[in-house]
Amino acid sequence: TGMGKEVGLLLKKDGHTVAVSSFEEYEDIKLNLPSGFEYYQADVRDKDKMKEVITEFQKKFGSIDLVYANAGINHPKVAIPDWERGLDVIDINIKGVIHTVAPAIEFMKDQKSGHIVTIASISAYAGLPGMSIYGSTKAFIKSFSESLSIDLKPYGIDVTMVAPGFVLTPLTESNNHKMPFLINQKEAAAHIKKAIDKKKVVHIFPLPMSAISKVLYYLPRFIYRKFMGKGLSGLKES
């Protein structure tokens, strides 16, 4: 669903064979599955299952050109996190990405080509209020992807990290705070597809959020903490 589905549709339009996975059984998701998509039931938290389905795809189609590690969840935006929910966020947003890209990289090394795409967030660039766990998982993705972009280049493997601003999805619909420069899922998918086509190492979007994220990143931290602590950003719960 969401951005993953929209990106898949754009890739399918370009003539790619597209496979998608979800923890849901096929019978529960088939009505929402676009025509022509290969479907694999797999929970990204299950390392062995993810390796199994990626291996199955590679055997069936002979290569893996692109892996788009899209799975991610959030937690309610509050000052004190729900710690149990936070551990689920870590399992999916961090371990789930590793379980997705690790087996694919082995095949890509052998074929001497491939492209890994990961999803971070503007929250990877600064500790935003109420996002201590979610933002930390995206900061991991940012660093993880940058390192891989260097380490995998000799094997002919490209790495692209995209960092969206606020996108209208089921994850953000319940947000009780301002969401500046909010875009819809189709707009987000178009940004991601453009970054994939250009094999960009980093792509932050939309443009105003890219500028803001860089300002927040380079701002002296004592000024940043004072600014955010006073709620002047509008990102605190209202």
- Catalytic positions: 134
Q: If you write DSSP's letter for every residue of 130-172 in order, what string do you get?
A: T-HHHHHHHHHHHHHHHHHHHHSGGGTEEEEEEEE--B-STTT
Q: If you write DSSP's letter for every residue of 39-57 in order, what string do you get?
A: EEE--TT-HHHHHHHHHHH
Strand-pair partners of 115: 66, 158
For the beta carbon of residue 25, count every other beta carbon within 10 angstroms: 10
Strand-pair partners of 157: 114
Going by C-alpha positions, the residue among 14, 26, 22 that lies closest to residue 42 is 22
